[in-house]
Amino acid sequence: MYKNIEILDKKKHNKTKFSNVDALEVAKHIGIVPLGVDEVLDMSCVAPVLISGGEIGEFIAFTGISEKVTLYKNSEHYLPRFVQTYPFLNIVVKNENNNYNTVVAIDNDKKYVGMKKQNSILSKNGELEKIASEKIELVKRLDQQRNISKIIIKELQKLDLLIQKNLKIKTKEGEQTIIEEFYIINKEKLVKLDDAILANWARKGWMGIIDAHIKSLNNFQKVLVNQQ
């Protein structure tokens, strides 16, 4: 999944259809899931909530490394919006002025997307059909919540509160890198911040998110051991 991502285009995809895909099945195929800020608390109960690397940091959930080693062997856990909206998603692209723009895209996987699938994306008059419209609205709401995450991470970066990490596991073949780069919040530096900063973050609701992130770091075992 997510191997043939294209920007959704009314002309190019005017006859494209998509299958109904169980969100649980999507989740089994994704080990790193982008989160809206309002999803951090739900995911922190069962999975490590990390901070992504790269130019634009955001909260992500580490949920598995394969279909066999995943939280999503069953449906008891929260399913993030990112997997609920498949095959639609948001991607960030640079325009000609090197500014970032977020656009709706589709995973043009032949298994789930094509001319003979179940659900049309567009009607004959070029309007979004009901199911496609509902998924794309969910994509947009997720993007709004992801943007709040990015604002929080930027503030953490400005105050040098992030520690870079990687995730490696031992296998029969040797050490294997699962996540090359991610970040966690430095608790020691956090508690030394000026009270005015912490009070401001508390008023914004950020401290609950930060606390959930820190506590969630105890959940690696739930993903890597208990699910095998």
Q: Which run of H or E residues covers position 138?
A: helix 130-158
**Percentage of the chain modeled with pLDDT above 90:** 77
- Residue 172: what pLDDT? 67
Min mean pLDDT across 29-33, 45-49, 95-99, 183-187 is at 95-99
Supply the angle between the helices 206-216 and 130-158 in degrees, to the nearest 10.
90
pLDDT confidence bin for 8, thresholds 50/70/90: very high
Total-model pTM = 0.90
Mind giving me the DSSP string for 12-59? TTTT-EE----HHHHHHT-SEEE--GGGHHHHHTTS-EEEE-SSS--E
Please determine, for residue 226, whether its predicted confidence score (pLDDT) is greater than 60: no
Segments making up each domain of the chain, as ranges: 5-224
Residue 228 scores a pLDDT above 70 = no
